[in-house]
Amino acid sequence: MCKTLSLPMKKTRDHQLPVPAAKLLGKNIATLRKVSSLTQQQLAAALGVEVETISRFENGRLNTSLDQVDALATFFNVPVWTLFAPVDQKTNFPDPILITKMRTLSPKHKTTLQDLILVYYHAHRSSSKAG
């Protein structure tokens, strides 16, 4: 990591360089698309762009406008920053896919899920204290 900018680094033979934002964006778009069980064609159709555009995004070969980034974040129902965050920086935050799925639940099912999580948490916490 670059301490002053907190950018992820990639190693070259002689030194480290920041990973370009386009590469991070592309990797995260591909991950979100795959986790959502979408093809590039389906994502392109949903966003009103060509399939080649999605391919170039995912490969980090196409810089995009903030409007397109916002459209992607809105489509995947994730905060914009997660599209640029390396995986290791996202681990301290709730999984955006999990949150997206939870948002689609009815209020009753959300309450049930919260109750299940609390039961699991308390059971796990007490078992980890015993060991």
Q: Which CATH number is 13's domain given?
A: 1.10.260.40
Running along the chain, 131 residues long, what does each successive block of 10 average in pLDDT?
A: 45 58 90 91 95 93 88 90 74 62 85 85 69 51
In a shared domain, residues 79 and 113: no
In a shared domain, residues 85 and 101: no
In a shared domain, residues 51 and 76: yes
In a shared domain, residues 73 and 130: no
- Residue 44 confidence (pLDDT): 96
Q: Name residue 120's amino acid.
A: Y
- The pTM is what? 0.57
- Residue 45 confidence (pLDDT): 96
In a shared domain, residues 50 and 98: no
In a shared domain, residues 58 and 12: yes
- Residue 128 confidence (pLDDT): 57
Range of the domain at 128: 94-131
Report the relative pairing of strands 16-18 and 9-11 from DSSP bridges.
antiparallel
In a shared domain, residues 67 and 100: no
In a shared domain, residues 81 and 122: no
In a shared domain, residues 17 and 72: yes
For the chain, what is the domain count? Answer: 2
- Residue 120 confidence (pLDDT): 83
In a shared domain, residues 72 and 119: no
In a shared domain, residues 82 and 123: no
Residues 79-106, buried b or exposed e (16+ Cβ, 10 A)?
eeebbebbeeeeeeeeebbeeeeeeeee
